[in-house]
Amino acid sequence: MHWITLAQLTATRALLSGRIHTTPTLAIETPTLGQIYPNTEFFFKMEQWQKGGTFKIRGALTRLLTTEPAPLGVTAASAGNHAIAVGLAAREIGIPAHLCIMNTASPLRVKMAEATGAQVELFEPGPQAYQAAQAIAEEKNYLFAHPFDGSAVTQATATIAAEMIEQSGGLDAIFVAIGGGGLSGGLAAGGKLLHPKLKVFGVEPRGANTMQQSFAAKQAVRSDQINTIADSLGTPMTTDYCYQINNDLLDHLVVVEDEDICAAMAVAEQDLKLAIEPAAATALAGLIVHADHFRPHLAHKKVGVLICGSNIDASTFAGYIERGLKRMTAPSTWLRRPPDLAFALAFLRQTGIQYGA
């Protein structure tokens, strides 16, 4: 099945041109990955520098600009990042937005959503925010913008793969984090359209492994047991559409623990000089933690890693970095190899974190 055509991909790129940032894909040699994958070249797609701090603006704008008739307004439910993107997209095209955000969302994200000029309401975790957003859409005749489902999201996130391939001069594989599956499905669809031999590897937090459960059940499932620091990936469900596209196009899926994600955040800060949120470190965590599996397949290859967002406050970031550094100094639980203790301890001294307290 063809999930996207070249004409659709080209049209979506033209639609978004001038409305979003064309974020760079940078070839960076990192000490950590260099030790683990000595014969692999890595390229990092810096989508954390996108408008709104994540890739989400691509899907929000595409949905609003391709809906006919043009929506009178838009509503959305979110843990924060999707709401920010929908608010920005609504402001861009001049329509009102009513955003339903879970009250467990980072206060930083709530403020960013409010700064778009949208009306923002907070709800208890669970289905309440989705139900409220859908009710508002019906009452006001607004468009309900789903955070990850549908062909508009596929076409929007496919543009990321197209940029990565062009900016890197071609890739053999891409690692991407999975929440509901819209990002991974679209990236795989666009990437394999342009380069059929491209491998796409998905990474989920173990505490929000809805796609892994769906693969095991051979159908989309819902999970009421979501528990991960990567709240942007913490959707309690996937959809039939997202299950099908990921099942069709993903080459492999792995899961990682929250402590692995914290360690990957520390690696990103030290090696890449990036302060990123847990969801954005999840793909990197999978690449590192499951090196024994991936190393034989990635030797002498060009590998892309999508850094998908950066919406995290400084205090929370510092706490996760501390957890990550402790993980890195516990060889029995991370990497299955002796860690670079000198690096970890030097970084502890550099940041002023008191290790072992």
At 111-145, the pLDDT tens digits run 999 999 999 999 987 788 889 999 999 999 999 99
Please give the pLDDT value at position 331. 56
Indicate the residue type of 140. Answer: K
Angle between helices 314-328 and 341-351 (to 10 degrees): 150
Give the chain's count of helices (H) and strands (E). 15, 10
Q: What is the C-alpha to C-alpha distance for residues 92 and 109, in angstroms, rounded to an integer?
A: 19
Q: What is the C-alpha to C-alpha distance for residues 91 and 145, in angstroms, rounded to an integer?
A: 14
Compute the half-sphere exposure of residue 281: CA atoms within 13 Å on the CB side of its CA.
Answer: 35
Percent of the chain with pLDDT over 70: 92
Host H or E run for residue 307 = strand 302-307
User: Could you give the strand order of the β-sheet that contains 252-256, starting from the edge strand earlier in sequence?
Assistant: 25-27, 41-46, 302-307, 173-177, 199-205, 252-256
Average pLDDT, integer, range 43-56: 97
Q: Which pTM does this prediction carry?
A: 0.91
Please give the pLDDT value at position 337. 39
Average pLDDT, integer, range 42-68: 97
Measured CA distances, 186 to 17, 29, 228, 250, 255 (Å) = 18, 27, 24, 11, 20
Q: What is the mean pLDDT of the chain?
A: 91
Of the candidates 81, 115, 118, the one whose C-alpha atom is nearest the C-alpha of residue 97 is 118
Q: What is the C-alpha to C-alpha distance for residues 164 and 206, in angstroms, rounded to an integer?
A: 27
